[in-house]
Amino acid sequence: MANLDFKFLKEKYGTPLYIYDVNHLKKNMTGYLDYFKSNVFETEVLFASKAFCVKEMLRLVKAYNMSLDVVSIGELYTAIAVDFPMDKIYFHGNNKSISDLEFALNNNVGTIVVDNLMELVALDEITNRLNKKCNIIIRLNLGVEAHTHKFIVTAHVDSKFGVSYGSNDYNDMLDVLKNSKNINFKGFHSHIGSQIFDLDAFTAALEKMLGICKSFDKPLVLNIGGGFGVHYTDEDKPIPFDVVSKTLVDTCEKALKANNVKIEKLCIEPGRSIVAEAGYTLYTIGFTKKTPNKEYYFIDGGMTDNIRPALYQAKYDCDIVGKENELKNHIVTIAGKCCESGDLIIENHPLPEAKSGDLLVTYTTGAYGYSMSSNYNKALTPAVVFVEDGKDKLVCRRQSYDELLEREI
């Protein structure tokens, strides 16, 4: 655990509170940038901003000269707000609207990741109408499935994402590209899922993509996506980013040599694996309760600041601040204050006896906590604080009740 003064932060900012260890963020970004390199082809590391997209995080990504993956106009708008280089942005999405595509083109987004045939046809029409050039890569559904939760597997045959290689739609897309005046086809994208611990799934997907390259007469850009697993509990065995990076680069180099083929660039899109373990969520324990079969510790947050346990059955570790080394002789369920039976952050977790007012810290909440937060039950969105070398910095203030209602007529 980082050397964070949780009690001080609670007194200054209140709870629930999202806290990020900036040195941990920097270590993870540096790790990918240092290890994901090749002497044979270019490499590019994109931060998958959906994991945690706030201006201060994107400023950090920009300072480290990383590229950026956005999946909505809102994320793109956030990038524009911090003057992120447009040529380093990749715009994803399976159902971009016409106005989305126009906005991206008018703001000179570097690469559009095209998800399906209809999008490509629409994009071709828009580029002609606006007289705008654009670079694209096509998201492929390779049929490589990772062993993960069904809601975060993205490459099975019936996935909502991407076009299946060799399908009629795929061939029709190639025909559109042959006749397009303004679209510059650069290569392919694949993303097989999230929270993956099996490197074989990544290498299988990459080898399949490299085989596809043989059909083209120019070196292509290949983006293998992200989804690298992290440590939430001791059940998780994440692969270190140096091993992930080296394995992907080595696999690519060997396959290129064996097949006598070249690529222009290999890209990856880490998001969770950069921000998750650098993040903590701090709560205040209120009431406790015993039923015939359970003991509950109630916190002042819940599914509104961390929907993942309800959505994915995600598991977390936690501690009572200041009691980390006490006997953990209570098997408790950490429950939120939302009016939902499923508002359970952690179930059957060993903890010491808690008193009202104790602080509870949950670990590895830096990805998708803030991004997926909501105002359900009219809960306020928590503040976000960055801490670096003992100094704290407020990067998102806590929502006020006036702000909660400001858009209501």
**Residues with catalytic roles:** 339
C-alpha 244/C-alpha 260 separation (Å) is 24
Return the amino acid letter for 55: K
Burial class of residue 293, CB neighbours in 10 A (0-12, 13-18, 19+): exposed
Residue 251 near residue 40, CB atoms below 8 Å: no
C-alpha 218/C-alpha 277 separation (Å) is 40
Going by their DSSP bridges, the two strands 163-164 and 134-141 should be labelled as parallel
Q: What is the DSSP code string of 28-93?
A: HHHHHHHHS--SSSEEEEEEEGGGS--HHHHHHHHHTT-EEEE-SHHHHHHHHHTT--GGGEEE--
Q: Output DSSP code: residue 173.
A: H
Q: What angle do CA 229, 234, 240 make, to 5 degrees?
A: 35
Residue 294 near residue 333, CB atoms below 8 Å: yes
Return the amino acid letter for 389: D
